[in-house]
Amino acid sequence: MLKIKTTTYYLVVGIGSLRRKSSSRPSSEGGSPQPPSPPSRHEKWKLARLRSSGAYSSNTARKISKRIDILTTTIGQPEHLGHVRVAGTGVGIRDYFGSSSRHTSYEYSEAQEQRLT
């Protein structure tokens, strides 16, 4: 059965605006200012859907943002991209799932030639 997408997401802010927002944080007192840490992935998602008034662009975006907050609180640690969560430390995506099955165009054309002959 075909499921039709009924929700539409509108990004209120572009990536450039998000970078400007994150870099305009106040500096620490005294000495040289500390470079700001980059916003995490879920913070970028939420910032992109917030209007300047502080309201979300849609009701669905507000609900998803609330779920993200709950998940972030529950996990309690930042995500490590490229790691498989259930496999333990040191296990990457390729280790867990195996290498990609993509072929180069040269390998593909050789296989096609052999099939034709």
Residues 79-105: tens digit of each pLDDT: 556 555 666 677 776 777 777 666 666
Q: CB within 8 A of 40, min separation 6: which ones?
A: 78, 79
Give residue 52's pLDDT: 85
Residues 36-79: tens digit of each pLDDT: 777 778 788 888 888 888 888 888 988 888 888 777 777 766 55
Contact predicate 11/49, CB 8 Å: yes
How many whole angstroms separate alpha carbon 103 and alpha carbon 109? 10
Contact predicate 69/63, CB 8 Å: no
| Cα-Cα-Cα-Cα dihedral sign, residues 93, 72, 15, 48 | positive
Better-predicted residue by pLDDT, 12 or 69: 69
Residue 14 pLDDT grade (very low, low, confident, very high; cuts 50, 70, 90): low
Which residue carries 């034709």 as its tokens?
Answer: 116
